[in-house]
Amino acid sequence: MDLNQYIDHTLLAAGASAAEIEKLCHEAVKYKFYAVCVNSSRVKYAKKVFSNSEVKLAATIGFPLGGSSTESKIIEAGTAVRDGADEIDMVMNIGLFKDKNFEAVQAEIEAIKKEIGDNILKVIIETCYLSDEEIEIASRLSMNAGADFVKTSTGFGSRGASLNDVKIMKKVVGDKVKIKASGGIRDAETVRKYISLGVERIGTSSGIKIIS
């Protein structure tokens, strides 16, 4: 099993410098990771570093809290795609979700998917703030809204992914939507456990350690 092709090589720290982003991109090419994941303001720079690489470029939207307006998320997502992003990792509006305003949550996801067209959309539901039942509901909303992936975590919440989160998500989405696990995944054994549950992408800043 080639673990490198499951990995989104990630750098989302607030203080990540251009030099660090460049290093991330070069590492992704060297180790043949599936994608890199950066904050949206770094997409244009990362795309320049990549030029002719097969590595995909993912950008975070509404990150890490998910609480920005739908309008601002749409603009951020559209800009990221025009700047060269292949994939968008958006944070669901967790406050609206907790209000049980599920219609608005789904409408936001649909609007962002419409904005980015054929580009891949991953919806981060931030499982650390959700009950098991809420994880089910959020996964279903993401699926119904046309998301390509449902994703566990930002890595900036009170905890990252868990195997239980993924089991719940998989039960809901089956093979209709892919699953990305992220947050706190730092070794190959853990990655294999997630893959065995049906996870198709792993978000981690420990990619080199994992494949080594």
Q: Which of 8, 56, 151, 165 is the catalytic position? A: 151
**Which one of the listed residues 89, 113, 148, 165 is annotated catalytic?**
89
Q: For residue 200, give the nearest of 32, 12, 54, 34 by alpha carbon.
A: 34
Residue 86 falls in the annotated catalytic set: no
8 labelled catalytic:
no
Residues 147, 150, 154, 158, Cα dihedral to 10°: 140
Buried b (16+ CB within 10 A) or exposed e, 59-84: bbbbbbebeeebeebbebbbbbbebe
Cis check for the bond before 64: say yes or no (omega within 30 of 0). Answer: yes
Residue 151 annotated among the catalytic residues of the structure: yes
Q: Which residues are catalytic?
A: 89, 151, 180
